[in-house]
A and B are shown apart, each in its own frame.
Chain A
Amino acid sequence: MRKYFVVFRVALADRLVYRADFFIATFLRFIPIITTILLWRAIYDGSQKVELGNLMYEQMVAYYLFLMISRAFGSMPRLATDIATDIRDGNLRKYLLQPIDYLGYNVSLRVAHKLVYFVMAATPYALVFWLCRRYLPGWPTGSMLLLSVFSLGLSFLIGFMFNSLMGLLGFWFLEVGSFIHVVMVMQYFLSGHMFPLSLLPAGLQSVVTNLPFAYETYYPTLLLLQRLDTGAAMHVISMQMVWVVVLGSAARIAWLRGLKRYAAFGG
């Protein structure tokens, strides 16, 4: 276990090399929120309704703000393509030679990335949330906060397992870049990143809200938005656990089978 902690520490140091780049990127990421606020104002005014998809205008804006937080946990920028590249370019070799588990190694790496991100992004986030305070619900209860944090942790694992699985397809296909791109676009839509899934027609909604993508971003966001009671929150968390196990096993199997193939054909 300790070695994975050191991987984490080294990755931490690595991330801190490009600080300036990081700060700028974090700030820029908040710019679309302004368009979002204006756009939804126009939509609510145009529709002449108080609620859309069970959300009032203020809640809608808050949804997008909290979405930034759940995305911060669940998104794994470049993980899938990094894994696919490791496989294609033979960098995988380095991990196969050493007594270390590749997926475990990547988890440590990503935890470090996330931690650096949270620490460095804390100030910009606090600033934006303070500026948008009139859209936000009040502080959650202690138990709700705890459940939210737990759910965000599971969101991280779902994101990790799913993206690893995509990357491991690199064992079977030489070029998975465009496929991963298509999946990411779908994921953007299916995870509620584009708009709350409650806006979807009932039939479609019942399908989409049961996919792992919804459990990666949509439900944790609702939790932060305090739209779920304790019972619903517990249900979300147990479903998240199920998806972690399912995707995690799939990734592990893909890894083992892929490795057999890799060792037989290339290396």
Chain B
Amino acid sequence: MSMITVENLKKVYRVHRKPQGLGASVKSLFHRKYKHVHAVDGISFDIAAGEMVGFLGPNGAGKTTTLKMLSGLIFPTEGTARVLDFIPWERKNAYRRQFALLMGQKNQLWWDLPAAESFRLHKEIYTIEDDTFDRVLGELTELLHVQDLLNQPVRELSLGERMKMELIAALLHSPRILFLDEPTIGLDVVAQSAIRRCLKEYNQQKQVTVLLTSHYMKDIEALCDRVMVINHGRLIHDGPLRDILHRFAQHKLVTLQFRDGCMPDQLGAFGEVVELNPPKVTLRMAREWVAKHTSTLLESYEIDDIIIEEPPIEDVIGKVFEDADALQASAPAEASHA
């Protein structure tokens, strides 16, 4: 069953453009120049119930704008979206009771009060039954190990602890859909993995549908079977994470451990030398040549060990974005005009 259906969704922002200088400032009081920014430029996708989908892209690619449209904060310029059979930007209460948007950079808990107070407020805002509330809160605090922190003012919590509380606040009303925007930003490794574990377990237990953005590839790798890559407002990939490698990575990394004193000088013919640590060397080898080259190497030299790896996914995706930017720069800039 499809939970989220998005068709040709577009969002164009009109941004005021002011040249530098006092003269220009005065001029812009009377005549303003605007630039149209295509934040989201016609994306379509479909997310089924219980899916956990990663949303990847550089800053300004349109991830947050998409999440804002799906949670009804902003109207699209064009296109349609249906979430749980609601049109998000109609902002019906019935819809608002069934989803949550958690933004890693914004907080919604009362700063000076213990999180428990904010939770009680949520209970009333979302009209959660007493026993359901107690049960869900118990489960979540246990899952995140924060039972002892409930009655401590939020301002006295560490960033990681606060984020856990924010996550609890977002999950208290048992949303069927969860939008997460950078839920682990700024957290240390331990807190990151705690949040990740909680999300994973929660998703498995409750079959909640999750759309998640993150700059940490670890989040995506650990949680999402499916990844959508967005750049300049357009989807450039939608599928399993591993497929990104096959589609975009033209190379593999081959690490060779030569027997002492047997390392040849000329390895450039097999691939680009990435790391040289005699008797160990790492080569970047074109995908189609890996099989042939490695067998030649194994036949010709005394080799103790050989490791063939995919390049780190961060690098691959980073490369994809760079190439797209280069392409964009060489093409006439259609996206911006006065």
A and B, one complex?
yes
> What residues make up the interface of A, taking CB atoms closer than 8 Å to B?
2-3, 5-7, 10, 13-14, 17-18, 90-91, 93-94, 96-100, 262-267
Q: Is the CB of B74 within 8 A of A266?
A: yes
Q: Is the CB of A263 within 8 A of B96?
A: no
Interface: B196 (CB within 8 A): no
Interface: B121 (CB within 8 A): yes
Interface: B86 (CB within 8 A): no
List 13 A–B pairs whose Cβ atoms lie within 8 Å, in order of A's numbering. A3-B124, A3-B125, A14-B112, A90-B106, A91-B106, A93-B101, A97-B72, A97-B73, A97-B96, A99-B126, A100-B125, A262-B74, A267-B68
Determine the residue in chain B with the shortest Cβ distance to A266: B74
Q: Which residues of B contact A267 (CB under 8 A)?
A: 68, 73-74
Q: Is the CB of A93 within 8 A of B125?
A: no
Q: Which residues of B contact A98 (CB under 8 A)?
A: 96, 122, 125-126
Q: Which residues of B contact A94 (CB under 8 A)?
A: 106, 108
Q: Which residues of A contact B112 (CB under 8 A)?
A: 14, 17-18
- Shortest CB-to-CB span from A105 to chain B, Å, is 9
Determine the residue in chain B with the shortest Cβ distance to A18: B112
- Shortest CB-to-CB span from B200 to chain A, Å, is 24
Q: Is the CB of A264 within 8 A of B124?
A: no
State which of A2, A14, A97, A266 has its C-beta within 8 Å of the C-beta of B101: A97
Interface: B6 (CB within 8 A): no
Q: Which residues of B contact A93 (CB under 8 A)?
A: 73, 101, 103, 106
- Shortest CB-to-CB span from A90 to chain B, Å, is 7
Q: Is the CB of B100 within 8 A of A97?
A: yes
Q: Is the CB of B96 within 8 A of A265?
A: no
Determine the residue in chain A with the shortest Cβ distance to B109: A94
Interface: B71 (CB within 8 A): yes
Given the interface pairs A94-B108, A97-B96, A97-B100, the reply to whether A6 lies near B73 with Cβ below 8 Å is no
Q: Which residues of B contact A7 (CB under 8 A)?
A: 121, 124
Interface: B149 (CB within 8 A): no
Q: Which residues of A contact B270 (CB under 8 A)?
A: none
Interface: B245 (CB within 8 A): no
A contacts with B: majority SS: helix
Interface: B289 (CB within 8 A): no
- Shortest CB-to-CB span from B71 to chain A, Å, is 6
Interface: B272 (CB within 8 A): no
Q: Is the CB of A97 within 8 A of B13?
A: no
Q: Which residues of B contact A6 (CB under 8 A)?
A: 120-121, 123-125
Q: Which residues of A contact B72 (CB under 8 A)?
A: 96-97
Q: How far apart are the CA atoms of A99 and B86 in the complex, in Å?
A: 15
Q: Is the CB of A14 within 8 A of B113?
A: yes
Q: Is the CB of A13 within 8 A of B113?
A: yes
Q: How far apart are the CA atoms of A91 and B127 in the complex, in Å?
A: 22
Determine the residue in chain A with the shortest Cβ distance to B123: A6
Q: Is the CB of A99 within 8 A of B97?
A: yes
Q: How far apart are the CA atoms of A94 and B100 in the complex, in Å?
A: 10
Q: Is the CB of A96 within 8 A of B91?
A: yes
Q: How far apart are the CA atoms of A6 and B106 in the complex, in Å?
A: 23
Interface: B118 (CB within 8 A): yes
Determine the residue in chain A with the shortest Cβ distance to B112: A17
| B123-162 to A contact mask, C-beta < 8 Å, 1/0 | 1111100000000000000000000000001000000000
Q: How far apart are the CA atoms of A2 and B100 in the complex, in Å?
A: 22
Q: Which residues of A contact B96 (CB under 8 A)?
A: 97-99
| B66-77 to A contact mask, C-beta < 8 Å, 1/0 | 001001111100
Q: How far apart are the CA atoms of A93 and B69 in the complex, in Å?
A: 12
Interface: B202 (CB within 8 A): no
State which of A10, A18, A91, A97 has its C-beta within 8 Å of the C-beta of B120: A10
Q: Which residues of B contact A263 (CB under 8 A)?
A: 73-75, 89
Q: Which residues of A contact B75 (CB under 8 A)?
A: 263-264
Segment 78-110 of B: residues with Cβ below 8 Å from A = 89, 91, 93, 96-97, 100-101, 103, 106, 108, 110
Q: Which residues of B contact A10 (CB under 8 A)?
A: 110, 113, 117-118, 120-121
What 10 new A-B contacts, CB under 8 Å, besides A10-B110, A10-B113, A93-B103?
Answer: A10-B120, A10-B121, A18-B112, A96-B91, A97-B71, A97-B96, A97-B100, A98-B126, A266-B13, A266-B74
Q: Which residues of B contact A100 (CB under 8 A)?
A: 125
- Shortest CB-to-CB span from A203 to chain B, Å, is 37
Q: How far apart are the CA atoms of A97 and B108 in the complex, in Å?
A: 11
Interface: B17 (CB within 8 A): no
Interface: B206 (CB within 8 A): no
Given the interface pairs A10-B120, A13-B117, A17-B113, the reply to whether A265 lies near B14 with Cβ below 8 Å is yes
- Shortest CB-to-CB span from B96 to chain A, Å, is 4
Q: How far apart are the CA atoms of A201 and B75 in the complex, in Å?
A: 52
Q: How far apart are the CA atoms of A124 and B124 in the complex, in Å?
A: 35
Determine the residue in chain A with the shortest Cβ distance to B74: A267
Q: Which residues of A contact B113 (CB under 8 A)?
A: 10, 13-14, 17
Q: How far apart are the CA atoms of A124 and B121 in the complex, in Å?
A: 32
Q: Which residues of B contact A265 (CB under 8 A)?
A: 13-14
Segment 161-184 of B: residues with Cβ below 8 Å from A = none
Q: How far apart are the CA atoms of A94 and B113 in the complex, in Å?
A: 17
Q: How far apart are the CA atoms of A265 and B108 in the complex, in Å?
A: 23
Q: Which residues of A contact B101 (CB under 8 A)?
A: 93, 97
Q: How far apart are the CA atoms of A3 and B74 in the complex, in Å?
A: 25
